[in-house]
A = this chain, B = another copy of it.
């Protein structure tokens, strides 16, 4: 974490070579910045063009220099525009680390294994929204595509958290998108980890969020949603789907919603929230911590 922060030194130098006719010439190393784990990061995002031959020779002398310097992990960030260089790096021993639309990140662990390079993003986060109206009914939908299509199962609005989005905000957004209902985040009731759920290897964490409806007239989103309505919680829980083999966890989640609608259930509320950080903790303690954040440890220690 934080690998791309706090680069301490810029590494840049040349290596002197002799051409076939004996004339001395220099091949410059690839520009790299040290990370704080003893590695080097070569960021080519701002480089508009580089020939395969140029990259090939620079990478050779750079790898030699990095090994001599005792470097550990080498990172090369290649923009889509330089996709012609991917093959050269892979052939020299680099492996893919991760990729986003506009770039691919390649790595080379120079010392003996095992590599301690940080792993790629490993999880995807989903939400299910348990939205109650003033009559204690919950918001349910049927979807146009995917697993539940044509199964006549009423489900809670669900969705995937976008990059950089908070769980509470994603739940509010999905409810608005699918049903046009404005709702306020109340708490996280439960969460479920499902392994090998994404690309047959990534883990999905599904947060069940309770929301309180602020508007009540449903306007369903036609592209994704086949039907949407308010439904008594008992009716939702007692759908045959929840009693089928293999659906035990969904039944447990449904029962948590039922409990929450009838009695106190101690979920995790949003305690503090800033642009970049959100902390969720037990509703029983959230207020005290919030009100006395500055003095809490002192007063608790008295």
Contacts and interface: CB of A to CB of B under 8 A. Distances in A.
Interface in A254-284: 254-256, 258-259, 262, 265-268, 271-272, 275-284
Interface string A99-118: 11111110000000000001
Contacts of A53: none
B118 A121 contact: no
Interface stretch (A16-24, A62-70, A178-186, A201-209): A201-209
A114 B267 CA distance: 36
A36 interface: yes
A213 interface: no
Contacts of A219: none
Copies of this protein chain in the complex: 2
A167 B193 contact: yes
Interface in A53-91: 80, 83-84, 86-87, 90-91
Given A86-B87, A104-B96, A119 B162 contact: yes
Interface residues of A, number: 101
Contact of A289 (B192, B252, B276, B301): B252
A38 to B, nearest CB: 8
Dominant SS at the A interface? mixed
A193 B160 CA distance: 15
A214 interface: no
A4 interface: yes
B248 A265 contact: no
B80 A95 contact: yes
A174 to B, nearest CB: 14
